[in-house]
Chain A
Amino acid sequence: MVHVSVLLDFYSKSKTYIIEPSEKLILLLRKTAMIEVYNLWKQYQRPNWALSGISMKIEKGDFCFITGPSGSGKTTLLKIFYREILPTQGQILIDQRNILRIPDHKIYILRRMMGIVFQDFRLLFHKKVFDNIAIVLRILGVPKKEIRRRVFYSLRMVNLHNKMWEYPKHLSYGEQQRVAIARAVVNNPKIILADEPTGNLDTELAFEIMNLFKRINKKGTTVLICTHDRELIRHYGEKIFFLYRGKILRKEYL
């Protein structure tokens, strides 16, 4: 069976060189697509290209890795996905919505369907663990009772419900990253984007975090992780994109 992403690759090339695929086929392909990237280019400074003509597709419920050496464009790609930066050229569809057409003041709509996890956790150290997670729900105007329930639920998922009223600085790195993951999942996002989530952790903790992502993924959330940790990829990789100097060198579907 031909994988859908391969078909999409074919579609993106055919658009330019060979034939236009039928509308039915596009609809069929897009029905399951969460992230579609077509011929994406990004240049920060001339003459170097951070990304050069990337096309890829990630389906709903995928557990994906983007890997490659430092400076290969992993973080740039992720930043474009959550519209922190704009590409120089190309198109991106997330959940069938062209994110480049979303006006700046409406970006929050896109970000509300994502949970973002960073290597440096980005927690608010002057706020308690509870408030760090609750902030996402307060933004949405969720009632107090519901906030308590959902924060507790997400903390229980990462096994930190007993540290709800502590400050992040009193937690270990692994625990801090788990709090960041709890924050990312508390509003039930469709996608989790993680940029080197295990970069600051030792191997044992890294595996623990990966197990956590896997559990989240099993509930139907699409998970996209950028990492250069080959051990993790070998262990967990299902769909892997190898990036090198802004280009996709290889795709592997295991």
Chain B
Amino acid sequence: MPAITVDNLTKSFGQTVALDDLSFRVEEGEVFGFLGPNGAGKSTTINIVLDFARPTAGEISVLGMDAQRYSRDIRQRTGVLPEGVELYDRLTARQHLEFAIDSKNADDDPEALLERVGLVDAIDRKAGGYSKGMAQRLMLAMALVGEPDLLILDEPSTGLDPNGAREMRDIVREESERGATVFFSSHIMEQVEAVCDRVGILRDGKMVAVDSVEGLRDSVEGGTTLRVTVDRIDDDALQAVRSLPDVSNATVQGQNPPTVVVAVDGSKTAVLSALEDRGIEIRDFETTEASLEDVFQSYTTDAGTEVHAR
């Protein structure tokens, strides 16, 4: 049974279509990265999954239950870290957690939860004085109350320093090992890269790609870039490189000495041989793997590299 099933979900606000016939599944036990630039519809999707907003059309089921009709039961088994919300300024971290524990009929220890998120020192301080990072840690602790079967984390790294972001990823891994499904939204690829089993990329209310991190990397043409520094270059040699089956693009950068930049999807030695065959001396070469940021860019901007239809 999938943890989240979204079928043909459409959500319009007046004339604006925020989500356009969106369908995807999050399998039980996986860590699913929900990526997209700001305004792509990530929060709208999460709002509908949690019944904060109602769909214009479509079916959503969470933990096997209809998201509208059984919202309370769903939320009983789900831990949520909402995005960009304020805490209760006058309540301490302990009171926040006691409220969550009380609400879920759980029996967690507030201190142990805060230990996990590294906020135990501030347990009896009022949340009004917290930094953004501390508030985020407290909300993560609240999400962990009651060992939820599903964790929905909306931009969880907001306000966290690199160290905090790493700790947050560690917790995601721990929760995943415990057996929880994690649904993790972000607009920054590198944050989901390290922890997610699969990634879905949302753009303008549509899912443009759903795949594993590796699969996404492969899907972008010119996954590897080969930079060859040569003594000279001519059109004939460049054409020969371009005509190779694994090469999608080849350009020349610089003059003294020139560098041939080749987007290649297979054999790199074929490129080097093609150049040498035409009497060009290779002085140096390096390869760079397409970063996931490039992959993300290619899916979410029109100017990016072309992508394979998958």
The answer on A and B forming one complex is: no
Residues of B within 8 A of A (CB): none
